[in-house]
Each structure stands twice: as structure tokens, then as C-alpha cells.
Amino acid sequence: MKSFQPIGSSNSSGNATFRNAANAKQTLEELDACSSDIKEKCSTAVTGNATLAAELQACHDVAQSFKDAFESCTSPTKSIDDACKCVEAISESDVTTMQKCNTATVNTDALKLKKACKNAVGKCKTAEAKAVEGIDSCKERNKCGGAKDKAEAEKQLKVLTPLKAALDRTEFNTALKTAGLDTGAGTDGSSGRLALNRRTAREEDGDGCKALDTQWTSFNTTATKTAESKDSDLDEDSATETTTTLNAINDKTTLVADLQSCKKETRTLEDGRQITISLTIVKIRVAIFWCLFWQVQVIEVKITILTLTFGAGGSDSATTAAVGTGAPTSPALTTAAPSGRKLMLSNLMKRAAIGPVGVF
């Protein structure tokens, strides 16, 4: 899988500063004044005075003339005597004129003007950068896996990691298989028309069966609120509640007896055939099917995206397992899954992104 450089490392301090009304107002005022301020500070020249410009030019010309003459006198082709005679022949008037030229004050003034110009340009550049950061802070930030930056990804992974661990537990499936209830209607994720016109089955169920029915219904509700797709926002409270529910189910020591307390009833199908079935067990099988689908297509994909995109999660074993394989090493609820159910789940995962989890 292609690796991604962590994102979300941009400097947010500038954005926070710009969101301050006073700072934003000052930045906008500075930008508005840039044109006139730069024109004022950068268009004034020391040589704007014609008389001063002529004096400086004269000094330059005399200095250049003396430089050229002196270089000619010190040519390597001349003897020492010739060089000395040449230097003595240089016009004394040029030397006197150069001695009168004093550009120190002019240089100081020129440096002050240059500094003022640079400061004006720099101030506008800084204001421009702040404005860009401010505008960027107003834009809606793209989310990946339901998170917009590494901090949020880390926060979500703290909730998703124990949720994945709860989804990986297999105690319930083992009990379902032990009770001989791991195959039949509902294992393909659909209850068909079996659950229509339900009458007295729930009242005939044992207390343990009723408790399991309530817990799986609660799971379905909170899982839907947690996240409906890999890119949707994460409801952390619902995720925690879902984790608690799954652990409570798998922690039961009476799972086999509870499942066996689900009463069966005889139903007549549309084609006239009669079957004996526990509608509560069918409902639970449907919940298990979609639980696995939701785990593989939403939770584990979301963990992988958050980890690879933002560099979040560290070396946590649960996170590493999800990232390394893209699927659970020992998928929750697969112990009891018949091959036909696995095939249907695989086909569903290939052709569709998960929609709302709710099925009851």
C-alpha cells in the first residue's frame, strides 16, 4: 500500500492570531495602506535635488579620472622612475577637488531612506502572509477518514482501538455454534419475510434471550450513530457505548443457556410450507452479519486511513493489525460464519460502500 506523508503539520498560530478581531483589523489596515506607504518611502531619492546631484556627479567624475590615471602610472610595464614621474604629473586640481568631496552625510541619508523603503515593503509582505493564513483559516478543512488533522485522528483512534478489540472478540460466536444456532435464516444479513406479523414470540422468550435481543438492538442503534461510513464523522460517545455493549455481550457466562432460551414457533410461509424458527435468533443473526460488515468496511478502514494519512496511532497492536492487513487477523464473529455467508459478505464489500447500518 502506498505510504503517505503525515499531514496537518501547518502552522496554526497565525490562523489563531488572525481570528482575533483587533489583529485582523490591523492587518487589513496595513494592507490597505501598502500602496501609498511604499510609494512614499521608496520614491524619495537623495539625489532628487539637481544641484546636489551635479555636485555628486562631479565628485564621481574626478575620482574616476584620478583612479584611471593612478592605475596607468602603476602599470607593470613602467619602471619605478617612470611611475613616480607619472604620479607627480597627475593634476593637483583633481586631488584638491576630491578632498573637498564629502559624501558621508549623503550616504547616511541614503541608507536611512533605503532602510525605510525595506521596512515598508517588509511590513506589507508580513501583512500579506497573515492575510493568507487568515483566509485559509476561514476555509473548511478537508477531512480524511472523518478527521481533519493528526490531533483529531489521535483522539479518534483512542476510541476506535478498544472498539476494534471488542469487535474482535469471539465468545458470542462460540456460544452460538455450541448451541447449534450458528446457521440458518438471517446469516446472510436478511431476515426476509420471517419477522413480519410477529405476535407472541418475544413474550415466550426466556429472560436471557430477551436480554441478548435488547443488547444487539442497542448495538445496532449505537453503531449507526458511531459512524455510517469510513469517511463520516465519528460520534465518540456512541463508539464508547457500542464498545461497552459488545463487551457486555461477550462477557456473559450464560451465553449458551441464554441463546437456548429463545423460544421457537411454527410459521407458515407464502408457499404453504411450515417451518419452526426462533425469530429472535434470526434477528440476532442479522445483527451479527451486519456487525461484521460494519467492522471490516467502516471501523477497520477508518483506523487504517487515520493511521496512514496522519501518522497517528503509533505502534498500538490493534491499530497495527488493522493497518497491516486491511482486515482483521481473526475477524470478529467469523467463527460461526458459514462459507455462504462469507461469500455474500465478500461480494457486498466489493460492490458497495456501507450505508446506514440500521437493519431493524
Q: For residue 329, what pLDDT is reported? A: 38
CA dihedral angle for residue 53, residue 58, residue 61, residue 66, rounded to 10 degrees: -140
Q: For residue 19, what pLDDT is reported? A: 53
Per-domain boundaries in the chain: 13-138, 150-351
Q: Write the pLDDT tens digit of every residue in 28-54.
A: 888 888 888 888 888 877 666 777 778
Q: Write the pLDDT tens digit of every residue in 237-256.
A: 999 999 999 999 999 999 99
334 vs 305, higher pLDDT: 305
263 vs 3, higher pLDDT: 263
Q: What's the grid cell of residue 226?
A: 458511531
pLDDT at residue 332 above 70? no
Q: Write the pLDDT tens digit of every residue in 252-299.
A: 999 999 999 999 887 776 777 777 788 899 999 999 999 999 999 999
Q: What are the E-state strand segments in 198-322? A: 265-268, 274-277
Give ∠ CA 195-358-341 in degrees, rounded to 5. 70
Mean pLDDT throughout 136-162?
A: 80
138 vs 80, higher pLDDT: 80
325 vs 50, higher pLDDT: 50
Q: Write the pLDDT tens digit of every residue in 180-195.
A: 999 888 888 876 655 4
Give ∠ CA 78-82-87 in degrees, rounded to 5. 105
Q: For residue 317, what pLDDT is reported? A: 44
At 206, which helix (H) or strand (E)?
Answer: none
Nearest to 340 by CA among 289, 295, 277: 289
